[in-house]
């Protein structure tokens, strides 16, 4: 498949890009220090993770009850709910809302769900300006790139890279400090909040019992995006629902500590509908678009629906030795790293994206750091199982494994040829694939079984 070929080519390129590796290791190193400090604040971290896992299990087993409960309560507060089965449906619904209200400009807060439906490109094609307001997202938008990481979109860039980018676009000095660059971005974006027709956000959690959208951020841009424009649209995956407001007491600290190492992020907002008559700010209309886009495919997999427990903290990406070497863009998916590798084949097609489930050392570090205890490394193996069962592998791969199985089932077949011939075929078949950056193993002239038999005769 071309997707798999592209992945291997990009991985090959990035794994040996020393500058890229230096930036990533530096940024993840700072993250590790902060997270270690943040997690130490938990009285019993393991117990908190188990509790979060059980809550998410309960939600996924009863999604048909919690989603209508959220919808009813949100509508009671004056909001409107739209159900979208696919990215195309979500795009169409958003465009209808914008056109109905005569909108020309959109200001967005950080949202992986909008990245998933390629909203910026879609709006641009329809003559609508869509601007990212999160600083990291704003930077990668200026570069014309997708986010590199679920939490920190511009993790692959150094301070000098960003200073050069701002110099080219806005004429700022090349030696600008991070504070000066942030101030410049603030100046540029401030006017956009005031003049934008539509504000678009994601949602970290949907609170069923109050009909609220919970937003977590550090910059305050989401509050501005959802407050100043007359229309606010929140696009949220159906798996983000939690039963009650009390559950945020657990999920907000888990998300903050695993995402950035903070006890709690700087801004935590609950939005329960449009502005009421007694309120001084907020949108005149608020919509929540509940996005499926393949999630029910994953929900139908009893063994793998755990993938929907994810709270998008990015901890598994920062722990993964593969991600740390090949980077986020190599995956060519909205959700990269271990979590992306287990959910993308179900969201976008097993045949095209099964290769991601093989891009792993199966070291289990991703499962170890997950705040909701998803067995990520086990899910990777289950995806591989499904790919084989559905015959999504190539004919050559199927024939190769059948030949290997036939040989391994009987000792006499394994010993039909000596080590010299085995080494010849190893080099012929795997020198370019497996042995490109590794020393090929040398098979001994005689097998252990043959040596054992000879010695017993003696």
pLDDT, tens digit, for every residue of 254-284? 999 999 999 999 999 999 999 998 988 899 9
3-state SS class at 197? coil
Phi/psi of residue 285, each to 5°?
Answer: -135, 140
Q: In Å, how far are 63, 70, 161, 328, 451 from 187, measured between CA atoms?
A: 43, 37, 20, 29, 77
Question: Residue 173 has what DSSP assignment?
Answer: -
**pLDDT in the model for residue 394:** 79
Residue length, the chain?
458
pTM: 0.91
- Which ranges of 370-447 does DSSP label H, i.e. alpha helix? 376-389, 395-408, 411-414, 419-430
**pLDDT in the model for residue 399:** 86
What does the alpha-carbon distance between residue 173 and residue 167 come to, in Å, rounded to a whole number? 6
What does the alpha-carbon distance between residue 69 and residue 211 come to, in Å, rounded to a whole number? 8
| Segment-wise mean pLDDT, segments of 10 residues, the chain, 458 residues | 86 92 94 95 96 98 97 97 98 97 96 97 96 96 96 95 96 94 93 94 98 96 95 98 97 97 96 93 96 96 95 97 95 96 95 93 96 97 92 82 88 88 88 83 90 85
Exposed/middle/buried for 207, CB within 10 Å: 0-12, 13-18, 19+? buried
What does the alpha-carbon distance between residue 349 and residue 191 come to, in Å, rounded to a whole number? 41
- Tokens representing 218? 């550090």
Q: Tell me which residue of 207, 154, 150, 156 sits closest to 344, measured CA to CA.
A: 150
Phi/psi of residue 8, each to 5°?
Answer: -65, -40
CA 376, distance to chain mean position in Å, is: 13
């Amino acid at each position: 498949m071309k997707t798999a070929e592209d992945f291997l080519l990009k991985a090959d390129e990035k794994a040996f890009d020393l500058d890229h590796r230096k930036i990533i290791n530096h940024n993840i190193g700072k993250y590790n220090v902060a997270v270690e400090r943040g997690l130490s604040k938990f009285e019993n971290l393991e117990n908190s993770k188990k509790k979060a896992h059980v809550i998410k299990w309960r939600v996924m087993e009863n999604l048909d009850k919690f989603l209508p409960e959220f919808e009813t309560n949100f509508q009671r507060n004056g909001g409107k709910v739209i159900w979208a089965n696919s990215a195309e449906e979500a795009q169409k619904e958003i465009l209808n809302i914008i056109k109905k209200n005569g909108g020309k400009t959109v200001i967005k807060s950080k949202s992986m769900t909008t990245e998933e439906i390629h909203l910026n490109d879609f709006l641009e094609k329809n003559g609508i300006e869509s601007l990212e307001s999160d600083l990291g997202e704003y930077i990668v938008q200026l570069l014309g790139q997708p986010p590199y990481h679920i939490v920190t979109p511009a993790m692959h860039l150094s301070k000098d890279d960003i200073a050069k980018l701002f110099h080219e676009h806005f004429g700022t000095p090349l030696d600008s400090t991070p504070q000066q660059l942030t101030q410049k971005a603030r100046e540029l974006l401030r006017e956009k909040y005031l003049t934008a027709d539509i504000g678009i956000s994601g949602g970290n959690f949907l609170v069923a019992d109050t009909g609220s959208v919970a937003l977590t951020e550090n910059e305050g841009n989401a509050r501005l995006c959802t407050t100043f424009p007359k229309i606010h649209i929140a696009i949220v995956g159906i798996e983000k629902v939690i039963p009650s407001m009390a559950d945020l007491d657990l999920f907000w600290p888990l998300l903050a500590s695993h995402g950035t190492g903070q006890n709690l992020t700087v801004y935590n907002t609950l939005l329960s509908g449009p502005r009421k008559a007694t309120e001084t700010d907020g949108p005149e209309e608020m919509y929540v678009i509940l996005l499926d886009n393949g999630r029910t495919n994953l929900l139908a997999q009893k063994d793998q629906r755990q993938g929907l427990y994810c709270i998008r903290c990015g901890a598994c990406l920062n722990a993964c030795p593969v991600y740390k070497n090949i980077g986020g863009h190599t995956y060519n998916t909205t959700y990269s790293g271990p979590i992306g590798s287990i959910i993308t084949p179900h969201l976008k097609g097993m045949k095209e994206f099964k290769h991601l489930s093989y891009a792993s050392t199966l070291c289990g570090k991703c499962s170890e750091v997950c705040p909701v205890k998803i067995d990520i490394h086990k899910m990777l193996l289950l995806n591989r199982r499904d790919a084989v069962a559905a015959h999504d592998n190539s004919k050559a791969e199927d024939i190769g494994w059948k030949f290997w199985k036939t040989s391994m089932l009987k000792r006499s077949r394994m010993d039909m040829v000596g080590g010299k011939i085995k080494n010849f075929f190893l080099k012929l078949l795997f020198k370019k694939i497996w042995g490109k950056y590794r020393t090929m193993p040398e098979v001994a002239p005689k097998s252990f079984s043959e040596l054992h038999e000879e010695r017993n005769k003696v």
